[in-house]
Amino acid sequence: MIPEVAGLLLILLFGYAAMNKLLVYDKFVVQIAQSPILEGISPWLAWMVPAVELAICVLLLMPAWRRMGLYASTILMTVFTLYIMFILWFSPEVPCSCGGILNQLDWKSHLVFNIIFTGIAAAGLMYEKNYNYQV
């Protein structure tokens, strides 16, 4: 049951985050352009990040592909968490490019949130490895 619950939580997170980024696309581009390490690639990232998040949602929805979705979720959450750590250490003035509820968190709270969801993805993956699905 852990992989299913983890998958559902990650679908909610990534689906919500992707839709929010796409709904306020112009604002999202401006916010990520203010990042010291993302400024040159912000227009490209503004489409790629939500596209990857939605693709992960699709993977997580299909039992035969859930393991791949959990791997992708763990990797993406790790990258997001490392990015937040970089911001905390080197650029605390950069605005959060997250939307909705997550935009209300400060950087340290967002780091804790990401660590928790990275753990959820990793736990789902750890337990998912015990299942063999037939395609």
pLDDT in tens, 114-131: 999 999 999 999 988 765
Q: Higher model confidence: residue 133 or residue 111?
A: 111
Q: Higher model confidence: residue 56 or residue 83?
A: 56
- State CA 111 to chain mean position distance: 12
Mean pLDDT of the residues in the chain: 88
In sign, the C-alpha dihedral spanning 18, 123, 8, 62 is: positive
d(CA 95, CA 123): 30
Q: Is the pLDDT confidence value at 37 over 90?
A: no
d(CA 37, CA 18): 21
Torsion angles phi and psi, residue 12, rounded to 5: -60, -45
Which pTM value belongs to this model? 0.87
Mean pLDDT within 1-25:
94
- Which runs of consecutive H residues, i.e. helices, occur in the chain? 2-23, 25-33, 42-61, 66-90, 107-128
DSSP type of residue 63: G
What pLDDT shows up at residue 49?
Answer: 95
Task: Tokens for 69, please give them.
Answer: 């979705």
What pLDDT shows up at residue 42?
Answer: 85
Torsion angles phi and psi, residue 29, rounded to 5: -60, -45
What pLDDT shows up at residue 135?
Answer: 45
What pLDDT shows up at residue 115?
Answer: 97
